[in-house]
């Protein structure tokens, strides 16, 4: 039987919502009728995205916060709760990438990459879960990375953090299944976003044509490719899917 519940408007918090994948996730969730909180370090960017969503008829709010700053994050979730309602969907797209030879990774650099990518995800999940438990319904979608699936020689810190995100997600799936909450991860690869373009401009990634040639489908992905999968995992229809890692990568990691 189809889930008529799928049409219900939920409150969705999207971290990293001001740019790239997170921005596309905001648009896809708003298009499904959800009320969207655009949470990002970049407050102006979050404002811009929230304004564009509202111009399209959605209910949306910008929340400027650093996912590593627990007091600021707590205040942001409280503001979202009072303006839009309790959090029912969380998509964690805020992330920081870095490329360093292993022997050159300083302890400070290691800590920063773990802090933003892994601890930031932990912080957001911990802030969102009490509302989901109270509602006996929730959806968590973490954005990890294909680098965690295959390893990455010049991104050991980033890949380790993203590997942690995958296992954190699987652990949440098992811990919160009895509460009607699902948790799944999407590890992107080769998605055209400002983050990828910066990495290319810095010479850390090859040009798009070279990257595309290494992808079985023969082209790079778009933020919309990831957002469509995230919106599905956040839907009522995906209620029997939890603890999974859904590759959206053109076949590059099989
Ligand atoms: P993006 O365009 O750089 O977007 C990331 C957003 O997260 C930016 O708005 C950024 O703000 C924000 N952010 C960074 N640190 C934050 C923090 N501490 N607190 C709150 N917000 C923060 O990158 P993207 O390519 O869309 O990446 C989205 C996610 O996908 C990331 O987790 C990334 O690791 C992952 N990913 C992407 C690819 C790809 O091919 N693009 C591949 C694998 C994984 P600022 O701009 O102000 O820093």
Q: Which fold has domain 11-238?
A: Rossmann fold (3.40.50)
To the nearest 10°, report the CA torsion of 14, 15, 18, 19: -100
**What pLDDT is attached to residue 3?**
53
Query: 168 with 176: CB under 8 angstroms?
Result: no
Q: Where are the alpha helices (DSSP H) in the chain?
A: 20-31, 43-55, 70-83, 107-114, 120-135, 147-150, 156-176, 194-201, 208-213, 223-233
Beta-carbon neighbour count of residue 75 at 10 Å? Answer: 13
Give Cβ neighbours of residue 151 (< 8 Å, ≥ 6 apart).
159
**Residues framing ligand 1 (Cβ under 6 A):** 15-16, 18-22, 40-42, 45, 66-68, 93-97, 116, 120, 143, 145, 188-191, 193-196
Active-site amino acid positions = 158
Q: Which atom of ligand 1 lies closest to the CA of 92?
A: 32
Strands 35-40 and 60-64: parallel
Question: With contact defined as beta carbons under 8 Å apart, do 65 and 73 qualify?
Answer: yes
Mutate to test the pocket of ligand 1, among 41, 70, 122, 192 (most ligand atoms within 8 A of CB): 41
Q: How many angstroms does the Cα of residue 193 sit away from the middle of ligand 1?
A: 9
Structure tokens at 87: 């959090």
Classify residue 1 by its DSSP letter: -
- Among protein residues, the one with the nearest Cα to ligand 1's atom 13 is 94
Q: What is the pLDDT along the chain (254 residues), one digit of tens a residue?
A: 445 455 799 999 999 999 999 999 999 999 999 999 999 999 999 999 999 999 999 999 999 999 999 999 999 999 999 999 999 999 999 999 999 999 999 999 999 999 999 999 999 999 999 999 999 999 999 999 999 999 999 999 999 999 999 999 999 999 999 999 999 999 999 999 999 999 999 999 999 999 999 999 999 999 999 999 999 999 999 999 999 999 999 999 87
Domain boundaries, the chain: 11-238
């Amino acid at each position: 039987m189809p889930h008529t519940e799928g049409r219900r408007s939920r409150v969705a918090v999207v971290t990293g919502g001001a740019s790239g994948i997170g921005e596309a996730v905001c648009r896809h969730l708003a298009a499904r009728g959800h009320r969207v909180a655009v949470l990002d370090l970049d407050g102006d960017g979050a404002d811009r995205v929230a304004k564009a969503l509202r111009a399209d008829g959605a209910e949306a709010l910008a929340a400027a916060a650093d996912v590593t700053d627990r007091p600021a994050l707590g205040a942001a979730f409280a503001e979202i709760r009072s303006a839009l309602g309790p959090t029912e969907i969380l998509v964690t797209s805020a992330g920081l990438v870095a490329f360093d030879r292993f022997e050159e990774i300083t302890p400070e650099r290691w800590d920063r990459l773990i802090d933003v990518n892994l601890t930031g995800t932990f912080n957001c999940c911990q802030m969102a879960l009490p509302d989901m438990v109270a509602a006996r319904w929730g959806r968590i979608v973490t954005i990890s990375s294909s680098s965690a699936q295959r390893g990455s020689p010049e991104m050991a810190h980033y890949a380790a953090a993203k590997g942690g995100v995958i296992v954190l997600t699987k652990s949440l799936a098992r811990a919160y299944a009895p509460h009607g909450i699902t948790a799944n991860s999407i590890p992107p690869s080769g998605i055209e976003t400002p983050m990828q373009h910066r990495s290319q401009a810095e010479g850390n990634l090859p040009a798009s044509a070279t990257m595309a040639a290494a992808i079985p489908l023969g082209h790079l992905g778009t933020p919309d490719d990831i957002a469509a999968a995230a919106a599905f995992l956040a839907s009522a229809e995906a209620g029997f899917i939890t603890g999974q890692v859904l590759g959206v990568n053109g076949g590059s990691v099989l």
